[in-house]
Structure 1
Amino acid sequence: MIVTPLDSAVLDSKEQYIFYHKKVDFVLKELIVSVQKENLCTSKELIFFKQYCDLLMYSIEAMRVKYMYDEEDNMKVDLTDSGFPNYLEFRYLFNDLSLRHNYIAKLKDVSELQEEFLNQLLHKKQPVRKDKLFQASSIVYYTSVEQKYIFNRFVQGKIIEAPETASAQFMISWSFYDVSHNRPFICFMYFDYDGKNVESCKNDIYDVLKSTADRDMNLDTMAYGIDRKLPDVRPKHIKRIDLGPFHNVFAKDENEITHAILKSIASKEIPLESYALSFKIHEVFSGSEFEEGGYFSKQVFQKWSDIIKQDYVFAPHRIIQLLYNKTPEIMNKLAKPPIEVANLKMN
């Protein structure tokens, strides 16, 4: 898969990056609370949903520290249909941390850097130079950020027993960062297993999910691909959550919600920190089964229901009012009325 940074942009200043990072962190935390409050995930799904969001927040915070005082490089943000960092930023971060020991060996000693800071501030009465601050942030970054917690293109969850209320024996979760949309997706699959021990098959399941269900596609296509490649696995229910787009002042897409917010910010009807987050859940269920193949290569497949598509919007109260006025058709087609979240207040 070819990945390019063409759909991304560099923000105008470090102040804008500080603003951007605060917005993303705030919105993801609000999302976790609201998804639980609105029962959009089951209790078990919510545990994994929060874990994947935590990985996303951890990675974006690591980017903030990495680029804080770097005058040469800036984090690239997808402004077209996402609002999240460009996928390449996650890949760069992951690859960069694989060389952390090489970089740590080249960094100045902390005590030496502290001495320079004190001398500059107390004796010379001058602010610390940007290059020295970059050295300090690099020390923090390379000594505290763990590569294993970086949100990768594909993040695999473990197989666990499904809740008693589920219509299947097992449950598995995974997440991926779709490189065409530059947005995170979180998936759950409930399934039965015909073999003796599902643990003996787990690596096969993981491999198939990574190769078949690692990008945005029609959910029934994904379900059929998983079903075909895993003869002993009987998928019963697949649920996919799409986080985004994140509609905010930095966005430059053609989305009607984004345009409504940008126009209202431009006319000073609403403050710069105004935002909304689109959120989609797609689900398919297996109803019956059918057989394909000859006598010696017969395989049982699932017949899938129509895709159940549910769209949601999370926004503060003032933005919800605005969207009802500016985009009533979109608001009236949501699975439930827009879900109110807190305002972001910037100093």
Structure 2
Amino acid sequence: MAQSAELTAAERYFDAIRAALEGLSVFLNNRESPLNKHDLVAQTVAEYLQRLTASFECWRNRIGFTERFRISRSDSGFPVFQNVLELENDKKGAAGRLASIPDADSLRAEMADFILRHRAFPAELQKSMAERVYLETVQQGEVFSPFLLPVTIRVAVNPKTGRPYYVVHWGAFDGTSNLPLVYMAVVEDSSGDMVDTLVRDGKLNTDVRIPLPVGGLLNPELARRFDDFAARNSAYSLSPVTIATSLDKDFPELHPKQLRRIVLGPFYTAGITEHNQRVAEVLAKVRRPEDAWLLTWTLQEVFSTAEKPGRRGLWSSEPSQEVFHINTDDLEAARQGVSHYEQHALVPHEAYQALYASGEASTIFTGFQTHILSNGQVISGV
């Protein structure tokens, strides 16, 4: 009985998170979406959202043959990091495990024969079928890994400095906060070879064909080090200004002009998450479980306002240094270590009505840009 209740709760959770991710996808694809005012942000987040959706589809299949699935009930509302690690490990070993499981047609035939002979449900065969479906999904889909390597998606030239600059993104699933994170950076490159190759008459050299997107940083001499840096410096506990400052310090040839971090979550769903009792009590009154959720995310940004020139001397020298702006007039921005931040909340229409009727909406959504999902469309600016 306890196991049945647990599976029911799991199904309710997966229904809710699927609805939330589908709603966020609708929001990102809307040209009027607030995120579309930020160059390339909506497009980039959508790519990681596809990976996250694939991961949840895998986890949903996984509970058909194993009971090991936990979410961060009192923190993020997302799966705990161990599930992400197991998914990554299963992806690597999927081919070998599939080879040891009968094909789908054979399993269906065995299940039908079992039912006819024993007049009972073939639970073990069903688990084998669920494992096969899971492994096939893992093998085919691009999931949200613990760390997703940087990708260069744009190259241009800053006419003021005469340097090429890259727009690079990467992702990470933070193991402490259990939150999916997406990073985007605009980085100028003063490496002599790259300037000579990519810049002509102050503009991008059109004779150089660049098949974007390019895996890793476009500069091949720095690409591996940049991968390593991103892997070591993508923790949620690190503020954006800390990451940007470290990048500026570790790479004299690179000049980070902007760093964005999109934090997906927390996610709230009725009867499962416990990180906000006030929200939980109101969501519990929503009639349809797949509408009893609330998804939040935060866009953080730090940018450089100036570049302090480097100094070369006979006995010592100093590289150039970016001057990052922190909005000290906003206490929350100062706490986050950012120049600017935005908090967003996506909620189904029925859940928003319940929150509004309870008198809690204004309190819960204070400081958030609120977006309501209704009949397959997202209404912003509520």
Q: 1 CA distance for matches of 2:323 and 2:25? A: 33
Q: What residue in structure 2 maps to residue 54 of structure 1?
A: 50
Whichever residue aligns with residue 268 of structure 2, its letter is H
Q: State yes or no: 1:332 paired with 2:332.
A: no
Change (3 A) 1:214 1:315: same
Q: 2 CA distance for matches of 1:240 and 1:321? A: 31
SS at match of 1:341: strand
Q: 2 CA distance for matches of 1:269 and 1:54? A: 28
Q: 1 CA distance for matches of 2:109 and 2:187? A: 60
Q: State yes or no: 1:174 paired with 2:170.
A: yes
Contact 2:355–2:361 (8 Å) recurs in 1: yes
Q: 2 CA distance for matches of 1:234 and 1:280? A: 25
Contact 1:14–1:68 (8 Å) recurs in 2: no
Matched ranges for 1:1-347 at <5 A? 12-37=5-30, 38-41=33-36, 42=38, 44-70=40-66, 73-121=67-115, 123-124=116-117, 126-146=119-139, 149-162=142-155, 169-195=165-191, 196-197=193-194, 198-255=219-276, 259-266=277-284, 268=285, 271-273=288-290, 274-290=292-308, 295=313, 296-306=316-326, 307=338, 308-324=340-356, 325-334=359-368, 336=369, 338-342=370-374
Q: 2 CA distance for matches of 1:31 and 1:11? A: 30
Whichever residue aligns with residue 126 of structure 1, its letter is R
The one-character-per-residue Cα deviations of 1:137-183 (angstroms, maximum 9, x if unpaired) are 12222344228723111112311325799997210011111111101
Whichever residue aligns with residue 22 of structure 1, its letter is D
Contact 1:286–1:305 (8 Å) recurs in 2: yes
Contact 2:28–2:35 (8 Å) recurs in 1: yes
Contact 1:175–1:185 (8 Å) recurs in 2: yes
Change (3 A) 1:191 1:29: same
How many residues are paired up?
326
Task: Using the TM superposition, give the Cα deviation of residue 332 of structure 1 relative to its aligned residue in structure 2, in angstroms.
Answer: 3.4
SS at match of 1:17: helix
Task: Say what the alpha-carbon RMSD is for the aligned residues.
Answer: 2.9
Unaligned runs of 5+ in 2: 195-218, 327-337, 377-382
Task: Using the TM superposition, give the Cα deviation of residue 213 of structure 1 relative to its aligned residue in structure 2, in angstroms.
Answer: 2.7
Q: 2 CA distance for matches of 1:329 and 1:264? A: 13
Change (3 A) 1:126 1:294: farther
Contact 2:260–2:300 (8 Å) recurs in 1: yes
Task: Using the TM superposition, give the Cα deviation of residue 270 of structure 1 relative to its aligned residue in structure 2, in angstroms.
Answer: 5.1
Contact 1:220–1:304 (8 Å) recurs in 2: yes
Task: Using the TM superposition, give the Cα deviation of residue 224 of structure 1 relative to its aligned residue in structure 2, in angstroms.
Answer: 0.5
Contact 2:73–2:275 (8 Å) recurs in 1: no
The one-character-per-residue Cα deviations of 1:301-335 (angstroms, maximum 9, x if unpaired) are 1111112121111112343344452152442322x
Deviates more, 1:146-155 or 1:132-141: 146-155
How many percent identity over aligned positions? Answer: 20
Whichever residue aligns with residue 15 of structure 2, its letter is K
Q: 2 CA distance for matches of 1:14 and 1:314? A: 26
